[in-house]
Amino acid sequence: MRIIYGINPVTEALAAGRGGISEIFISVKRRDKSLDAIVRAASSGKIKVTGAGARRLCELAGTEGHQGVVAVFKGEYPYCGIEDIVDNWRASGKSAFILILDCIQDPQNFGSLVRAAHCAGADGVIIPKDRAAQVTPAVVKASAGATEHTLIARVTNLRDAIKRLKDEGVWIAGIEASFDKTIYNTELDGDIALIIGSEGSGMRRLIRQECDYRVSIPMKGRINSMNAAQAGAVALFEVRRQKDARTQKEAGGG
């Protein structure tokens, strides 16, 4: 049984329209505009809504941070295949923009990275099946529901997935603090997939070898590192900036 909890995650799951929600449990004590909107959306979608006390909500969510709402799904999270992400990119008519996470293990970082990828307009996110965080209720909460709108491919062999993207003409850019060239003096406005490595050791050696670009984010303060989610967000929006600048330049004929 898959569950998600929290106002934003449940709201976004309903808005995404992927289906699969079998029942929504709502606090019998706490009511506000956000919860009322969830009840209306669920009712219009013919989803069962059940009132529940604080103890029941905590049991379902596994945490007290449920914000008065828990959604129960019929199946598991709908991971897609890498071909779905490629198709999504092709259908957009724009240059590729994909995020690859190499063994990110912290649920908060994973959720934040999915949120940043969605907000930056990425075509999808690719993660390995093993040795990495998967889409859990905590990840959905950390993503503010972005997991419900984002294509997330879970692959057995991440290196093979990268090679598949290369076959499609996608350039691979790995982000690590130790690299000399910075993201700001590297052209990343074409078909690009960004790789963010694990919190402790960064990218694995064989994954690093697949990178066409090896770039860093320059640091100016006394603390010379950011966590994976922060670095990923900076990198994603720098790519977004470059892509938008190129689009504007081409539209203006410059």
CATH number reported for the structural domain that contains residue 127 in this entry = 3.40.1280.10
Query: Are 27 and 97 members of one domain?
Result: no
Query: Are 105 and 162 members of one domain?
Result: yes
Rg (alpha carbons) of the chain, rounded to whole number = 20
Average the pLDDT over 114-141 and give the result. Answer: 97
Report the pLDDT value the prediction gives residue 30, as an integer from 0 to 100.
Answer: 82
Cα distances (Å, whole numbers) of residue 48 to 52, 55, 120, 125: 13, 20, 34, 31
Average the pLDDT over 122-137 and give the result. Answer: 97
Average the pLDDT over 57-85 and give the result. Answer: 96
Boundary residue ending a domain (52, 73, 94): 73
Whether pLDDT at 95 is above 60: yes
Boundary residue ending a domain (30, 50, 73): 73
Query: Are 98 and 185 members of one domain?
Result: yes
Whether pLDDT at 208 is above 80: yes
Cα distances (Å, whole numbers) of residue 54 to 23, 58, 66, 112: 17, 6, 9, 27
Report the pLDDT value the prediction gives residue 254, as an integer from 0 to 100.
Answer: 57
Average the pLDDT over 51-79 and give the result. Answer: 95
Report the pLDDT value the prediction gives residue 2, as an integer from 0 to 100.
Answer: 94
Query: Are 205 and 104 members of one domain?
Result: yes
Residue 188: burial class (beta carbons within 10 Å; 0-12, 13-18, 19+):
buried
Query: Are 95 and 180 members of one domain?
Result: yes
Average the pLDDT over 186-206 and give the result. Answer: 95
pLDDT band at 99 (very low <50, low <70, confident <90, very high): very high
For residue 9, the enclosing domain spans 2-73
Number of domains in the chain: 2
The whole-chain average pLDDT of the chain stands at 95
Residue scoring higher pLDDT (188 or 222):
188
pLDDT band at 253 (very low <50, low <70, confident <90, very high): low
> Which ranges in the chain belong to alpha helices (H)?
7-16, 33-44, 54-61, 82-92, 107-120, 137-142, 158-167, 205-208, 228-251
Query: Are 166 and 238 members of one domain?
Result: yes
Report the pLDDT value the prediction gives residue 198, as an integer from 0 to 100.
Answer: 92
